[in-house]
Structure 1
C-alpha cells in the first residue's frame, strides 16, 4: 500500500538526496574505508525546499 508523502518541492541542488557518504580512498586499520559525510547546504539536510510564499501586492 503506498504511503502518502507531504507535497513539498524537492531540493534542486541535491534532488532529494541531502546526505551522502564520500570515500576518501584511505582505509582504517580493520580494512574498512574512511568516509566523510556531506550535507546539502541549500536544504540543510532535509531534501526539501521551503515553498514559495505569496506576496500581496497593492495597497
Structure 2
C-alpha cells in the first residue's frame, strides 16, 4: 500500500536524503571501515527546499 507523503517541497539536489555516509576504503585498527558524513550543501541537511532557494530560481 503506498505511503502518503507530506506536502513539503523536497530538495532537488538530494531528493530528500540530505546526509550520506561514504566509505573511504580504509579500516580502523579495530577493523571498522572509515566513513565520512556528507550533508547536502543546497538544503544544509534538512532535505527540504527553502524559500531562499525558490527566490533564486527566478530572474
Query: In which range does the TM-score fall when normalised by the shorter chain?
Result: 0.7 to 0.9
Report the equivalent of 2:8. Answer: 8
- Matched with 1:34 is 34
- For the aligned residue pairs, the C-alpha RMSD in angstroms reads 1.8
Please give the TM-score of this superposition, normalised by the length of structure 2.
Answer: 0.75
Count of residue correspondences: 51
C-alpha separation between the residues in 2 aligned to 1:43 and 1:15?
10
Runs (5+) with no aligned partner, structure 2:
none
> Which structure carries more helix by proportion?
2
Distance 2:29 2:41 in 1: 32
Q: Displacement of 1:8 after TM fit?
A: 1.3
Which blocks of at least 5 consecutive residues in structure 1 are unaligned?
54-59
Q: Normalising by structure 1, report the TM-score.
A: 0.75
- State the distance in 1 between where 2:10 and 2:49 align: 6
- Choose 1 or 2 for highest CA Rg: 1
Structure 1 runs of 4+ aligned residues shifted over 3 Å read 2-5
